[in-house]
Amino acid sequence: MAFRKPPDGGWGWVIVVVSFFTQFLCYGSPLAVGVLYLEWLDAFGEGKGKTAWVGSLANGIGLLASPVCSICVSSFGARPVAIFSGFMVAGGLMMSSFAPNIYFLYVSYGIVVGLGCGLLYTATVTITCQYFDKRRGLALGLISTGSSVGLFIYAALQRELIELYGLDGCLLIVGALSLNILACGSLMRPLESSSSPPPEKMFVDKVPDQYFVYHEKEKTIEENISILEKGYIDEKSVNNVPDCKQDSILNKNTLSSINVNEKDTYKKKVVEQTNFCKQLAKRKWQLYLTYWKETMVLFKNKVFSALFVAILLFDIGGFPPSLLMEDVARSANISEDDYYMPLISIIGIMTTVGKLVLGILADFKWVNTLYLYVTTLLMTGVALFAIPFAKSYLTLAMLSGILGFLTGNWSIFPYVTTKTVGIEKLTHAYGILMFFAGLGNSLGPPIVGWFYDWTQEYNTAFYFSGFCVLLGGFLLLLAALPCWNACTNQSSKLPPNTYSYKVASNA
């Protein structure tokens, strides 16, 4: 189906507003899960590594399942997926209030809520891209801030709700708030196609030609039956003598001929359908082989291979602070009276600022986005190394702001990927990178938690996190040096794309 030209306005601005609030409502609680993490530690008495799996799954499962999310949106449309996912997010949050153990939370909060968020992100990005072309960057930038604003507000909101209604009441209320996603999803009106033929005609046009053969054969059978019946009636009217024996013989002959024709038609149907399935399976297999060949060509690019390692290590080391910073403050024996604002809220608001500032810098021609991204990685590693030395709320708040700002490098990651592999290979490469980013999101907090369970302090854990991010940054810097440009330019070109592979990234 060919969509008409994006209006770059009109109802598109309604789509931007509802997409902003959709990401605000769905990502607010998972990104601010650090507040709930403290309560789950006290409620279930499990280790920090085991408990951290809940938040890491909620934030990583959407990236890991991004190909599935894209297929769902492509097959059913953004509006139905958004409404269905709204029920998933709200239901998962409400079910989590009745969790008897940490394993129940893995499913209700980690998988159900996480998958719902992944579907909603894909739906909002897809429908926004349909409505905007010239202003697409602005529209996507506006809706991506919804998750960061949600992190800022939900961190304080969940803390207040826990004090007033307890952990279970907080999850029920937050789940009820998520039901507003249904109203937002209902406003995601699909962009009409440029030429939409009647549904009956569209359906007929999509039917392969061989299936009309079956219709003709069935029609032939019906005509034979009518001819036989007509001849029998004429013969009876001429003779004008009822003959029961002759009638039964003629009926038997008619039925036997019909059965033979039906059996032949059925056998031909089976053969043709079997051949059709074999051809379809062979074609799909060729597409998969082509996909893996193109993947191997991508990894021959040294910068892409380094970027793959960098994004994996960055999410393993850089994501845990947003989940564990509140527990770091509690472990440092910082009094709650010194809290002017939750540390997670500071991370959230500075992430919004970082996305905007880094996105603006990336638009300047004199700025090399790849080196800018490397700079954010190296600075993040240094900030992580500094966390063990922070013993007051003020220093932790400053480090939270720095880490939040640098985490805004998500806004320039598509630019970096495009510069590395080219616009024609962006979709393929971005899908691979986002999958491993989700893997890093899922593994990072549990690894840091296991370090704490092993050493009973966070110092070693954040030294490990800082080392991971610095290693990824240095590898990417080494691969991006100008001396490798000649090797990169000599990499073989990919064959023409014969498949469609869409993904979405987390904001």
pLDDT in tens, 176-185: 999 999 999 9
Distance, C-alpha 226 to centroid of its chain: 58
Q: How many CA atoms lie within 13 A of 102 on its CB side?
A: 21
pLDDT in tens, 343-379: 888 888 888 888 888 877 877 778 888 889 999 999 9
pLDDT at 206: 44
Domain covering 1-191, topology: Growth Hormone; Chain: A; (1.20.1250)
pLDDT at 217: 43
Q: Which amino acid is at 506?
A: N
274-484 maps to which CATH number?
1.20.1250.20
pLDDT at 328: 82
| Rounded Cα distance, 52 and 37, in Å | 7
Which of 110-119, 289-298, 393-402, 436-445 bottoms out in mean pLDDT, i.e. has the lowest?
Answer: 289-298
pLDDT at 340: 74
Statement: residue 113 has pLDDT above 60: yes
85: DSSP letter = H
Closest CA to 481 of 297, 306, 296: 306
CB contact at 8 A, 147 and 23: yes
166 vs 321, more confident: 166
193: DSSP letter = B
452 vs 387, more confident: 387
Torsional sign, CA 284, 78, 437, 415:
positive
Q: What are phi and psi of 365, to 5 degrees?
A: -70, -30
Q: What is the pTM of this model?
A: 0.65
Q: What totals of helices (H) and strands (E) does the chain contain, helices first?
A: 21, 0
Closest CA to 348 of 32, 2, 16, 38: 32
Statement: residue 108 has pLDDT above 80: yes
CB contact at 8 A, 66 and 435: yes
Per the prediction, the chain carries an average pLDDT of: 77
Which of 223-232, 358-367, 469-478 bottoms out in mean pLDDT, i.e. has the lowest?
Answer: 223-232
Which of 328-337, 351-360, 412-421, 497-506 bottoms out in mean pLDDT, i.e. has the lowest?
Answer: 497-506
Within 10 A of 135 (CB to CB), how many other CB atoms are there?
A: 17
Fold identical between 1-191 and 274-484? yes
261-297 b/e (C-beta count within 10 Å ≥ 16 → b): beeebeeeeeeeeeeeeeeeeeeeeeeeebeeebeeb
Which of 256-265, 393-402, 455-464 bottoms out in mean pLDDT, i.e. has the lowest?
Answer: 256-265
Which of 78-92, 112-126, 149-163, 283-297 bottoms out in mean pLDDT, i.e. has the lowest?
Answer: 283-297
CB contact at 8 A, 429 and 298: yes
> How is the chain split into domains, by residue range?
1-191, 274-484
Q: What are phi and psi of 3, to 5 degrees?
A: -80, 150
Highest mean pLDDT among 11-20, 121-130, 420-429: 11-20
| Rounded Cα distance, 351 and 24, in Å | 14
201 vs 267, more confident: 267
- Please state at what angle helix 78-96 crosses helix 66-76, rounded to 10 degrees: 130
pLDDT in tens, 334-344: 776 666 777 88
pLDDT at 202: 42
pLDDT at 506: 40
Statement: residue 212 has pLDDT above 60: no
Statement: residue 205 has pLDDT above 60: no
**Reduced to 3 states, what is the DSSP secondary structure of residue 114?**
helix
pLDDT at 180: 94
CB contact at 8 A, 175 and 90: yes
Statement: residue 106 has pLDDT above 90: yes
Ramachandran class of 168: left when φ > 0, alpha when ψ lies in -120 to 50, beta otherwise: alpha
